[in-house]
Amino acid sequence: MSSQTRRQFAKLALAALPASGLLGLLNRLHAADATPLLPKVNSKVAGVQIGLNVPYSFADVQMSGPEVLSRCVQLGISGLELRTQPVEAFLGAPASLVGAKALVAAAAGVESVDAQMRRWRLAAPTERVPDFRRTYESAGVLIEIVKVDGIFKMSDEELDYVFTVAKALGARAISTEISHEESDLKRLGDYGVKHSLWVAYHGHTSVTPAHWERAFALSPRNAANVDLGHFIAGNNYSPIPFIKQHHERITHVHVKDRKLQMGPNVPFGEGDTPIVEFLRLLRDTRWNIQATIEFEYKIPAGSDRMTEIAKCVKYCRDALA
42-88 pLDDT, tens digit per residue, is 999 999 999 999 999 999 988 999 999 999 999 999 999 999 999 99
Q: Provide the 3-class DSSP secondary structure of residue 227.
A: strand
φ, ψ for residue 41 (rounded to 5)? Answer: -85, 160
Q: Residue 4 — pLDDT band, cuts 50, 70, 90?
A: very low
pLDDT band of residue 104 (cuts 50, 70, 90) is low
Average pLDDT rounded to a whole number, residues 218-235: 98
**CATH H superfamily, domain 39-320:** Divalent-metal-dependent TIM barrel enzymes (3.20.20.150)
Closest Cα to residue 226, out of 215, 79, 157, 217? 215
Instruction: Measure the CA–CA gap between 89 and 97, rounded to whole angstroms.
Output: 9
Distance CA(60)–CA(18), nearest Å, equals 21
Beta bridge partners of 83: 147
Tell me the pLDDT band of 9, cut-offs 50, 70 and 90. Answer: very low
Give dist(CA 59, CA 133) in Å, integer. 22
Could you tell me the CA-to-CA distances from 71 to 168, 201, 274, 286, 298 in Å, in that order?
A: 22, 26, 27, 27, 19
Amino acid at 84: T
CA distance 201 to 223: 6
Residue closest to 88 by CA, chosen among 72, 102, 71: 102
230 CB-near residues (< 8 Å, 6+ apart): 203, 204, 205, 207, 254, 258
Task: Give 129-178 pLDDT, tens digit per residue.
Answer: 999 999 999 999 999 999 999 999 999 999 999 999 999 999 999 999 99
Residue 108 confidence (pLDDT) above 80: no
Query: Could you tell me whether strands 250-255 and 222-227 are parallel, antiparallel, or unpaired per DSSP bridges?
Result: parallel
Q: Which helix (H) or strand (E) holds 177?
A: strand 173-177
Average pLDDT of the segment spanning 258-276: 98
- Give the pLDDT of residue 47: 98
**CA distances in angstroms from 158 to 114, 169, 204, 236, listed in the order given:** 11, 17, 26, 38
CA-based radius of gyration for the chain: 19
Q: How many helices (H) and strands (E) does the chain have?
A: 15, 11
In percent, the amount of the chain with pLDDT more than 70 equals: 84
